[in-house]
Structures are given as structure tokens and as C-alpha cells.
Amino acid sequence: MPDLPFALDVKDLSKAFARPAVDHLDLKVRAGEFYALLGPNGAGKTTLLRMVAGLLQPDSGDISIFGIDARHNPVAAKRVVAWVSDEPMVYDRLTPLEYLQFVAGLWEMPAADAERRAHELLGWLGLMPHADERCGGFSKGMLQKVALAGALVHDPKLIILDEPLTGLDAGSARQVKNVLIDKVRTGVTVIMTTHILEVAERMAERIGVIARGRLIAEGTLDELRAKARHGGTSLEDIFLDLVADHAAGAESAAA
């Protein structure tokens, strides 16, 4: 059986601002996988994902999305990707339905399919009563759900989410998590950064830990547990242990 292409295959990717944000990083995510990316603030998670989504130009390295070279054929790669950031970017003066109509237009979806899917998504996310209200008056949680609906309306194969649960109440967070789990069940790949370690622990099949622009550990929860030298049983203990080890290693190397 031929090898299936990875949903995401990042090779030797680098990006520096004042200092290296992503430093010769390699990352492979399998199709249909729920992958959580963890790391302390400023570790390079958002920079990495913004490069994958085509929002930032890498300094060097390769990005392949389902076998498509995203650096040389960005439009083709973007067709199968959806991006959701922690700050929902939605037009204040459009209604959720108008927003979804616009998104569907950008991804060239047939109008009838898009309309049916938009209603379906707004129903799932509990936004149907607000479908004709302008987004300007929405809470952060509602805006995040509109942005998520926008990401899902064009049926992406890879969904990239940067801290999607920030600022959401428990109910909204659960709705978002349920929708993502459903998508993974249907074969969609999800890559998500989060500071809520419990979410990564419960939802992700594999977890990557990134620090100082490098992937310092990766695997299932059990594999990470084995890698952590004196970590406890929770992901929080393991994560803190791995990051502290890496920081100590980096400092001694610098000395």
C-alpha cells in the first residue's frame, strides 16, 4: 500500500524576528489526527501555525499540506486548510449568515450547498437565533463560534486553531470541542495550540511541545510521560518538566 501523504509535513522551517521564533523545526501530522501543540508564551507556536496557514513567509524550510508544496503553490494548499485564531476576525456589520456566504464565495462553494451547510453549522453552534443579527453586538464567545463556522463551512481537510478556547465560557468551549471531535471522527485533521492542558490531554491523540522555536518533545501522553525525567502523571507536570529541562539544557549550552 502506498504511503499516504501527511496532512502536514514541515521540514527545517525557520523564521526569525529580532531573535529566532521558529528554529529549524520539523513536524509531521498524520491525516485524521487531532494534534495539540503546547509551549510556553513566546515559544513560537503561533509563528509556526501562521506560516503553515500562509499568513507569514518563512525564512527557510518547507511546508507540505496533503502533499501540496504550500510555499510554491499556496492557493492550492489554502483550498484544504482553515485557520481560526484566538482573536476572531469577523466583520462587525455582517450577520453570521452573510459572513458565511462571503467565506463560501472565497472558497468557491456552490451556493446551494454553502447555504445548507451554513444553516447546519449555525444550528450546531447554537447561533441560529442570531443568524440575522449583525456580529457587532456579539460576545467574544459568539464571535469565536462564527469564526469557527466560517472555518468549517468550506469543508476543510486540515483545521488549524490557535488558542480557540480563549475567553469562551464553559458551554461555548464544550460546543467548540464537540464540533472539533466530530470533525476528527469524519477524517478531518485538527492542529490546535492551547494553554488549557486539560483540553490537550483529553482531546489530542498526539501532543507536541515546542520551546524556543524547536519541537522538544512529541508523542502520545504515555510517550511524553516516559520522556519526562521526574514528571508526575498529569500533562501539566510533564509539560513543565520538559520545558524546564529544555531551558536548563539551553542555558548550560550557552554557558
Partner 1 sequence: MSAAPASLAWFARHELSLFWRDWIGMMTAGRRTRGIVLVLVLLIAAILLHLLANALVGPWLANGIRADKPTLVLITGSGLLFWSVMLSQALESVTRAYYARSDLDLILSSPASARRLFAVRTAAIALTTSVLAALLAAPVVDMLAFFGGPRWLAAYGVLAAFGALATAIGVFITIGLFNLVGAKRTRLIAQIVAAVIGAAFVIGIQAAAILGYGTMNRFAVLQSADVVAHAPGIESPVWLPARAAMGDLGALATVMLMGLGALAAAIAVSAASFSHHATAAASVGQGVTRQRRTARFQPGSQKQAMRRKEWMLLRRDPWLLSQTLMQILYLLPPALLLWVDFGKEAGAAIVVVPVLVMASGQLAGGLAWLALSGEDAHDLVATAPVPPRAVLVAKLESIMAVIAIIVGPLLLLTALLSVEAAMIAGAGIVLASGSATAIQMWFRAQARRALFRRRQVSSRAATLSEAFVSIMWAGAAAIAAGSPWWWASIVPASMAMLVLLLAWAIRPRS
Residue 16 interacting with partner 1 (CB under 8 A): no
Residue 92 interacting with partner 1 (CB under 8 A): yes
Residue number, 48 or 118, with CB nearest to partner 1? 118
CA angle 164-143-137, nearest 5°? 155
Is 28 exposed, middle or buried (CB count within 10 Å of its CB: 0-12, 13-18, 19+)? Answer: middle
The DSSP output letter for 147 is: H
Nearest to 32 by CA among 189, 247, 169: 189
100 and 149 in contact (C-beta within 8 Å)?
Answer: yes
Helix H, strand E, coil C: the string for 233-249 is: CCHHHHHHHHHHHHHHH
Residue number, 49 or 215, with CB nearest to partner 1? 49
Q: How many residues in the shown chain lie near partner 1 by CB under 8 A?
A: 41
Least Å distance, CB 76 to partner 1, is 7
Residue number, 109 or 235, with CB nearest to partner 1? 109
State which of residues 81, 180, 209, 238 lies at the interface with partner 1 (CB under 8 A). Answer: 81
State which of residues 3, 19, 108, 222 lies at the interface with partner 1 (CB under 8 A). Answer: 108
In the range 148-187, which residues lie near partner 1 by CB under 8 A? 150
Nearest to 196 by CA among 179, 214, 213, 176: 176
Least Å distance, CB 83 to partner 1, is 4
The DSSP output letter for 174 is: H
Residue 129 interacting with partner 1 (CB under 8 A): no
Residue number, 105 or 171, with CB nearest to partner 1? 105
Residue number, 21 or 217, with CB nearest to partner 1? 21
Residue number, 151 or 207, with CB nearest to partner 1? 151
State which of residues 28, 134, 225, 227 lies at the interface with partner 1 (CB under 8 A). Answer: 134
Which residues are bridge partners to 208 per DSSP?
37, 218
Least Å distance, CB 231 to partner 1, is 35
**Residue 21: what residue type?**
A
Least Å distance, CB 85 to partner 1, is 6
Which residues in 86-96 are b (16+ Cβ under 10 Å) and which e?
A: bebebeeebbb
Least Å distance, CB 27 to partner 1, is 19
Query: Which DSSP string corresponds to 63-122?
Result: EEETTEETTT-HHHHHHTEEEE-SS----TTS-HHHHHHHHHHHTT--HHHHHHHHHHHH
Region of 72-80, 173-181, 192-200, 208-216 interacting with partner 1 (CB under 8 A): 72-80
Q: What is the dihedral of CA 88, 205, 179, 29, to 10 degrees?
A: 60
- Residues that bind partner 1 in the complex, under the rule CB under 8 A: 53-55, 75-76, 78-79, 81-83, 85, 89-95, 97-98, 101-108, 110-112, 114-115, 118, 131-134, 136-137, 150
